[in-house]
Amino acid sequence: MAEQQTGERTEQATPRKRKQAREKGTVARSTDLNSSSVMFALAILLPTLAAGAASAMLQSMRNGLTVSEATADIGAVGAHFWSTVQPMIAPLIPILIVSVVTGVSVGFMQVGFKPTLQPLQPKLERLNPVNGFKRLLSRQSAFEFLKTVIKLILIGYIAFADVKANQDELLGLAGLAPRAAIGWTGAFIAGIFLKVALAWLVLGVIDYLFQRRTVERQIMMTKDEVKREMKETETSPELRSEMHRRRQRLARSRMMQNVKHADVVVTNPTEYAIALKYDPKKHASPICLAKGRHLTAERIREEAKKGRVPIVPNPPLARSLYEQVEVGDQVPVQLFQAVAEVLAYVFRLKGRRV
């Protein structure tokens, strides 16, 4: 019983699991949301293009029905075809632009931008008829079937209701002028188009929420998987090195902040720099607040200048301090005499006594 419970996927996916799933193409996305968004955008755009599209359509029909006196060779047929199609190009350009921009934007909002080829890689389990039969009987397939049925019912009902409500006008189209008939028909189709697009858009949103829930369920983890991932992450060499680098940066930052509290900085003068502080009430000997070589030593000297800390060149002492004393440690007995002389010199300049 305990083994069964540990095998249940009861834990939310970790960021690492989500990243791996995304790389495999397991992301929540709805093709219906994409298609319905494009259709809805076009339904809003169509009324503004209706007049121009109607004129272009009439012109295209005139050009196509015009009897050409040219011979029926390839060049003449091509020219006649181009004169027929050309008027419709201008109205189609904004439709194409809106379709592409809307489709790409909605797709980007769903899954972001991280292309992967892993879903396209061939997998032998996809050829297994048992797995295919299971997919047919899965919850996802049932939802897709139900969604298709609902779409057909909605679209059919909306079209039937509009046709029934406007049947008199539809029958009277034969008595209208061509331009007026085309204009009314365009407005009628645009109305149906908008209603269908809106209903489909609602279904698309529901579909997207269902896909998100399905993906969340697919990538859920067992408690053992979470523990194993935590262990792998904690022992990861990359993570350890990154944590080590962060600790080093924090330590250097704190060390540089302590330089302004030093009594003196002993230098090589360019290769080494060691910041010392002596407080007889707290420590029996001076302590090292900061130390470094090359670039770190240069930064220590810069911080000392900013904090008006005396800088005393003493190459032998600086090298010995760098090799024998760590940050936060007290100066060893064998170096105390040399350090005391430096501190005495500095304190004399400040009017203090060692």
**d(C-alpha 75, C-alpha 110), whole Å:** 48
Helices 74-85 and 31-65 pack at an angle, to 10 degrees, of 120
Q: What 3-state class would DSSP assign to 15? A: helix
| Cβ contact 249:240 at 8 Å | no
Domain that holds residue 151: 27-113+127-218
Q: Is residue 243 part of a domain?
A: no
CA distances from 107 to 32, 34, 77, 344 (A): 11, 6, 42, 73
My answer on whether 188 and 105 are in the same domain is yes
Say if residue 312 is exposed, middle or buried (CB neighbours under 10 Å; 0-12, 13-18, 19+).
Answer: middle
What are the residues facing 287 on neighbouring strands?
Answer: 277, 330
pLDDT recorded at residue 131: 60
How much is the pLDDT for 233? 66
Pick the range with the lowest mean pLDDT from 62-76, 96-110, 183-197. 62-76
Do 284 and 141 lie in a common domain?
Answer: no
**Total structural domains in the chain?**
2
Mean predicted lDDT score pLDDT of the chain: 80
In a domain, 291, yes or no: yes
Q: Report whether pLDDT(267) > 90.
A: yes
Judge if 213 and 274 occupy the same domain. Answer: no
* pTM given for the model: 0.51
200 and 264 share one domain: no
Is the CA virtual torsion 169, 173, 174, 180 positive or negative?
A: positive
